[in-house]
Structure 1
Amino acid sequence: MIEFVNVTKVYDNEVRALSNINISIDKGEFVFLVGPSGAGKSTLIKLLLKETEPSAGRLFFNNKDITKVRNRGVPTIRRKIGMVFQDFRLLPKKTVYENVAFAMRIIGAPNKEIRRQVPIILSMVGLSKKANSYPNQLSGGEQQRVSIARALVNNPSLIIADEPTGNLDPDTAWEIMKLLKEINNRGTTILMATHASEIVNSMKRRVIAVKNGQVIRDEQRGVYGDEF
């Protein structure tokens, strides 16, 4: 599903963010991406989202070489990827329903489909009763659930979660991880960048550890590790 083949990324300021990365992730996997700040995790995510291009190597997504995709093809790739952020990034003047519906409107989904799909997704994340609430009326955990609903609503094949528990207390963080696990069990691939060592160590999923722009460890049922 995802394959980095000898991918290197050097930014204009001559900073080498990634060096000869080779990673393969199958459909339906749940993968933790770990490493210190500046290790290259954000660059890996930006490459998948086509926010930047590799300096060398090839990158495949859904069996397509996306390094060859021109600008007009980028929206099609991004529609297959749902993003969940540490800081939620909700629209403050829109309700929960409207925040999730907005993700469908920007890809041109018809109103009938939006009215059908949004309540289903809100029920899935346990927010049916909060549909008319605004972000400032929600707890941090509820806001992250809205973010996950927004990421899910267009039925992506991949969800990238970038530090999704970073702003949450431990109990709420585990609730979010339970939700992500349920989503993964339904077949959605999840790539989660995190510094939450306790979560990584407890869940025993695949762990890809990155340091100084290189993969230093890739193991099934892995742990956070003490390399950084």
Structure 2
Amino acid sequence: MQALLCELRPAVVGFHFGLPPLSVIEALKDRGITLLATATTLAEGRAIEAAGIDGVIAQGSEAGGHRGVFEPEKGDAMLGLFPLVRMLVQALSIPVIAAGGIMDGAGIDAALAAGACGVQLGTAFIACPESSATETRRAWLSGAHAFETVVTSSISGRPARALVNGHTREITSMDVPDYPRAYLVGKALASAASSAGEQDFAVCWAGQGAALSRALPANELIAQLDNESRWLGRASKIVE
């Protein structure tokens, strides 16, 4: 993968689940690639800065999908987005990007007001027609399922936030293999259940703001976010 990235030279490469060896970081930086990495604590943020990474993604506990904890076997502080952003902004000299539970312009403004230089949205785009989400997942985002999420290791072997369903309820109490073995088995289980007409074992990563999802085309959603955000609108006027 390192060789591929060095050959293609994408503008940005992001790291999750910790940091790669310094040799990988240096090889990518030598090719002019901007590097980002996820932090869930101040200690992780400091390690990211010390490694020479260009920016840090502050992943609050509200975020959907896999937690970026460096060493999950040692526990997870589960810091919310805003305390985490404030800690990182005050302690680090590199840019901080906020991620976790941001679904609309008000959320964007709150994150920027807390000191973040930008935001990262994921769950907000799942309902967009351009995403590969299944019809079941889209239906859940617009119904009662969207109001309840849980962080579980039962799906993939690493902590991740998902919508509560049969998979998270019935397998959480079981011992599961490490990531990614459990993930491969979980996907097979979801596929087998779906073939049998049972959709309650689908893998549905989502953040705590899932109920705020809007089923708009991606370009319309981005325009809507821009219109809702006072900070983004002000920045546009400054550029003009």
The verdict on a shared fold, with TM-score over 0.5 as the criterion, is no
TM-score, L = length of structure 1: 0.31
* Length-normalised TM-score, structure 2: 0.30
| Structure showing the higher strand proportion among its residues | 1
Between structure 1 and structure 2, the one with the greater Rg is 2
